[in-house]
Chains A and B, each alone.
Chain A
Amino acid sequence: MVTAVFDRARRVPGSRERAGDLLFRLTISGVAGIILLAAGALAWQLARESASTWKSFGLAFLWTSTWDPVSDVFGVLPFLYGTAVSSLLALLIAVPLGVGAAIFLTELAPKRLADILMFAIELLAAVPSVILGLMGIFILVPGMRALGAPYGVGMLTAGLILAFMVLPYITTITREVLLTVPRPLKEAMYALGGTRWEVVRGVSLPYARSGIVGAVFLSLGRALGETMAVTMVIGNTPKISASLLAPGYSMAAVIANELAEAASDAHLSALVAIGLTLMVVTIVVNGAARLMLYRLGSRK
């Protein structure tokens, strides 16, 4: 509707675009092109730098689990596993917590209180991840140890930290979606004698479902790529162990730890290959999130 004004102005018969207008349009569309270039360059650079890894290991790089920079043998499985498990743990903790908080903030809390709590939750999203990692190292890790975890660092600790990082996304989006539930739908359920909770369960949550799923995917995308907080508490051990209390490693963490000291070109290339894999995975996950949220938008 906004563009329509200009479009109509341009379509006046016999009128031509003024020189100034043409120049302006070309300039800013040119600047916008930088974004295309940058995105393209990103993909191309990562592909180029990791080419030798894909050539020598092929796709087996993705499912072998030896990571030995000394003899240049690389397999990404332990990192893939660590990233996946820690992110899923985070969602397992954060989704019920976030959805619960959002329900409280929309259905029960007075507006004043809801605004204040929401502000605090949104600010949580602004806390730099290195600070969460710092809290992790000096509070969560000793805490886990006190609770009987053998190392303190590990998958579960990383999952916990990640949960706090994605909690704001889940709460904010769920609350926004819950606020769009049409009143008549809820009132109909109340008229049938439903309790508040039954209205939430029977009307609001089903209505908000695709939005919540979108929020979950968005959070998953964040959690998969999160580096600092995870690097600081996951234990940085490239092993796949069944225990959630055992130290692990994640894709982002291994890049953060090893890239600056990568000894050989093969090692460097393998790390970039991990980065490329991580990028592809997050793009897919974010795409799924957008699809869910878009579907929601088109319903309104």
Chain B
Amino acid sequence: MLVSTKWLAEYVNTQGLDPKDLGEKITRSGIEVDAVIDRSQGMTNVVVGHVKECVKHPEADKLNICQVDVGEETTQIICGAPNVAEGQKVIVARPGAVLPGGIKIKKAKLRGEESNGMICSLQELGIEGRLVPKAYAEGIYVLPETATPGESALPLLGLDDIILELGLTPNRSDALSMLGVAYEVGAILSEDMKYPEAMYTESNEKASDYLNLRVDAIEENPMYVAKVVKNVHIKESPLWLQHRLMAAGVRPHNNVVDITNYVLMEYGQPLHAFDYDRLETKELVIRLANEGEKIVTLDDQERTLKSNHLVITNGKEPVAIAGVMGGANSEVHDGTTTVVIESAYFAGGSVRQTSKDQNLRSDASARFEKGVDPKRVILAAERAASLLAELAGGEVLAGSVVVDELDKTPVEVVVSPDFINNRLGMKISLEDMTSILTRLKFDHQAANGYLYINAPTRRQDIKIPEDIVEEIARMYGYDEIPMTLPVEESKPGGLTSYQAKRRQVRAYLEGAGLYQAITYSLTSKEMSQKFALETAPVTELLMPMSEERSTLRQSLIPHLLDAVTYNTARQADTVALYEVGSVFLGETESGLPHEQEHLAAVIAGKWVDHSWQGEKKAVDFFVLKGIIEGLMELLGHSKELTFERAVVDGLHPGRTASIKLGGEEIGLIGQLHPSEQKVRDLKDTYVMELNLAKVLNKEVEALYYAPVSKFPSITRDIALVVDSEKAAGELQAIIQLSGGRLLKAVHLFDLYEGEKMEPGKKSVAFSLTYFDPERTLTDEEVVNAHNKVLKALAEQAGAELRG
């Protein structure tokens, strides 16, 4: 909503406040002023000129040489506008003038002819092209004959004005009108209102003799008022009305259309003018459209209606879409002499639906959608009739044609001052409260310890006691509310154990060298299940904005790989990222997908880079595996953790494993398949994903201290020769199972496959630690235990001791 402060001052005394200060007061008490706009934009030296003579430039077809009376002198100005003509009163920017955009006007010579200034269009004065009346859209603006040469043109055009741009929240549609804003400003400044006048002499003829009215859809249209005005002269509106409309962001057309728009801006009540003769039937019938019925609207578009759209008809065919836009067939035109003014209450929901279906939003529909003030329907119709009489020479027929079943009873709100003070944590006196209600012009009474308030119909947002709390608080001032903290039973806050563990997981991974990434949950359908640990029916959007963001992910890996590609393409040596986020699987009983929190990580590039001391290493499978092992140790699950060779689509078939806890699959790890790496232009890249929810929810043994023993442990190393395919993990498992209670640790320390080995064989060396916390072990005990291990290895894995 654009509010001209000059126009506003007609309805309420703004106490000569600087518009900036007024804007700040309005903002602090309830309606945000987004901008304070100076329409003059610092312009000077812009005056009225009288074109005394206008001849073609001898050297240039499109230029005219004009002799212009600018008050103190008559001077020559070259003008290129096609519509400049002798006798016109025009806007002249004199030498030294500065126009919007910093354009400076200087004396100049154009094709040998002197030019002392510029004859201006409205656009050159900073008015948006879409607001300039069509007649002047392509040339200079022509002022009324009454303008005096030499006087400043800015006041004539209303450019000596400051506009407040209001950013209205949906509840404050009452401020979608100059009167509504005046009420608000009046309440803030404790000033009374001055209402617009509606005075005209009624004709002897009655409106009801000219027009019949019937409403067949009373729910959608509970109130309809029509006035008939004869003998109107269609012409340009007076300048003051045109510039007020432009200031409000509305393009002037002709006096009848401009008056309906002016009253719309003034009262917030949308009006429509029909050409009475073009209605043909002397009848208006308001009804729901027939499915598929057609109408050509004012914007020359043919529109197909649905059966829930409300239309105004002449009894035969639609002449307007109610509350949205008029029809071309009944439009006011230059030859119109009799007009019907419509002022109605159309139900918000109905207008919203229609305007949405037709993809057509207008100043009118925006106001109907939010609900207009029932009490202004008649007032606005009368105001329009009065202006038609005054500005279009119209003869207003007696009375109105009315259907009115609209409930105009104000909402009563009963609230106690204690309630208000308790909610606010304040001690505002009853006197202060009633004084605020008086300023707001809320009809109220204090009795029996309660305030009885009749909310004005213009304020449809006031319904419940809490609304009164807000009105009192915002007028009293939010700065006055003290600062306290909730008084309540003291309870410790904190994280759940799941949340606390998740934080530790993050800290661990970051300590291990990984950065936390956050990627999008939405992906393409094609990528949504790639690398997924578990797949289920996908969750797709009804109306995606793009194919790339149409489906919820079932794996975090694809977007992390995108991040690796992105970073690698930007010369990153190492990319190590992890993400904690949800995947979306199938559908639960409630109809929502099953959301599972996962952890994924990717590593690529160099892992260790300390070259000057000879340490340099690229990432490999075991870097990432080590990170997972460390994580499971942190979470108390290292004993249950195993890795098993697996095949996953998109991963290297020889370098992929499933991760298991106690035999249950909880994740995967692997190298990106070389062909995938090639597509993404990546070097060796390793990925892993875990079902984090499952891991964190898994029960863990209580942490209990084991005494630190004073007895020594004994270590025995063995080098085994086994078949090349034999998995090290299998050997380790055999050792652990056969080592008995004295075997405390097994550590693989060497692996050799090569020339010195028999083909098809490899050597694996383990270091075994034997230990008894109670005493020093004897050689014999260790030898016994160790022999059992060797025997088991020989029997179960065909392992021989390397000679």
Q: Do the two chains belong together in a single complex?
A: no
